[in-house]
Amino acid sequence: MNAHRDCDKCTGKAVAWMYGGEIYRITARKDRYGEVHDFICNTCRFEKKNTADWVIEGPREIDRHSVISQNHYDGASTTVR
Ligand SMILES: [Zn+2]
């Protein structure tokens, strides 16, 4: 899932790996080439594992819609069609 939070150290944009309604892993977002898009700080990565810490945006679409990863992906929630 794409997720974000307010953070003063990084963009706060990350991927929340969820299982059974709980976050078990937070990683930086990567595009389809495996390049990290938005770096996240250690606080976000390691200390924020509560669903309450994050705003869950929804399932990642970036892998299927290459347009998003080209240029104009600015972190706004993308509409799932
Ligand atoms: Zn952060």
Neighbour-count burial for 15-25, b at 16+ CB within 10 Å, e otherwise: bbeeeeeebee
Q: Per-residue confidence of the chain (81 residues) as pLDDT tens digits?
A: 999 999 999 999 999 999 999 999 999 998 889 888 888 999 999 999 999 999 999 988 655 555 545 555 555 555 555
* pLDDT the model gives residue 77: 55
The total of other beta-carbon atoms located within 10 Å of residue 26's CB is 20
Q: How many angstroms is it from 9 CA to the middle of ligand 1?
A: 5
Side chain identity at residue 65, one-letter code: H
Q: Which amino acid is at 67?
A: V
* Strand intervals (E) in the chain: 2-4, 13-19, 22-30, 36-38, 55-58
CA of 47 to the centre of ligand 1 (A): 10
